[in-house]
Structure 1
Amino acid sequence: MRIDVWSDIACPWCYIGKRRLESALEGFEHADEVEVVWRSFELDPSAPVPPVETSTVALARKYGGGPEQIAQMQERVSELAAAEGLDYRLDRTLHLNTRDAHRLLHLALQVGGPQLQGSLKEALLEAYFVQAKDVTDQVLLEEIAVSAGLDTGAVRRVLSGDDFDAEVGADVDQARAYGASGVPFFVVDGRYGISGAQPTEVFAGAVERAWAERQPALQTIPGTVSGDDAGACGPDGCEVPQR
Structure 2
Amino acid sequence: MGVKVEIFSDVVCPWCYIGHVRFAKAADRFRAKGGKLDVTFRPYQLNPEATSDGEPLLDALERKFGPNVSQMTQRVTQTAAQEGIETHFHQAISANTFEAHRLIELATRQGRGHEMAERLFKAHFTDGLNVGDPDVLAKLTAEVGVQDTGEGAEAVQEQIDRARSLGITGVPLFLFEEQFTVSGAQPEETFDAVLDEVAQRTGQIPLAPAADGCDDDGYCAV
TM above 0.5:
yes
Task: Give the partner amino acid of 1:77.
Answer: V
The aligned length equals 202
Q: Does 1:30 align with 2:34?
A: yes
Name the structure where helix makes up a greater proportion of residues.
1
Identity of aligned residues (%): 32
Deviation at 1:165, TM superposition (A): 2.1
Deviation at 1:19, TM superposition (A): 0.9
Q: Please list every run of 5 or more consecutive structure 1 residues that lacks an aligned counterpart in the other structure.
A: 219-243
2:144 to 133, 144, 148: 148
Counterparts of 1:91-106 in structure 2, within 5 Å, are: 91-106=90-105
Q: TM-score normalised to the size of structure 1?
A: 0.78
Q: Please list every run of 5 or more consecutive structure 2 residues that lacks an aligned counterpart in the other structure.
A: 207-222
Task: Give the partner amino acid of 1:93.
Answer: A
Give the Cα–Cα distance (whole angstroms) in 1 for the partners of residues 10 and 136 of structure 2. 18
Q: CA distance change for structure 1 residues 215 and 125 in 2, over 3 Å: closer, same or farther?
A: same
1:182 to 164, 170, 175: 170
Aligned residues: CA RMSD: 1.7
Off by >6 Å, runs of 4+ in structure 1: none
Give the Cα–Cα distance (whole angstroms) in 1 for the partners of residues 166 and 186 of structure 2. 18
Deviation at 1:217, TM superposition (A): 9.3
Give the Cα–Cα distance (whole angstroms) in 2 for the partners of residues 6 and 79 of structure 1. 23
2:197 to 198, 209, 215: 209
Give the Cα–Cα distance (whole angstroms) in 2 for the partners of residues 49 and 217 of structure 1. 44
Q: Kindly indicate whether the alpha-carbon contact (under 8 Å) linking 1:71 and 1:91 is maintained by their aligned counterparts in 2.
A: no
Residues 166-196 of structure 1: CA deviation (Å, up to 9, x unaligned): 2112111222222210110101122311111
2:158 to 156, 163, 170: 170
SS of aligned partner of 1:150: coil
Q: CA distance change for structure 1 residues 216 and 145 in 2, over 3 Å: closer, same or farther?
A: closer
Task: Give the partner amino acid of 1:130.
Answer: T
Task: Give the partner amino acid of 2:186.
Answer: Q
Deviation at 1:136, TM superposition (A): 1.6
SS of aligned partner of 1:4: strand
Residues 181-227 of structure 1: CA deviation (Å, up to 9, x unaligned): 01101011223111111111111111001111222799xxxxxxxxx
Give the Cα–Cα distance (whole angstroms) in 2 for the partners of residues 47 and 176 of structure 1. 18
Aligned match of 1:191:
179
Task: Give the partner amino acid of 1:208.
Answer: D
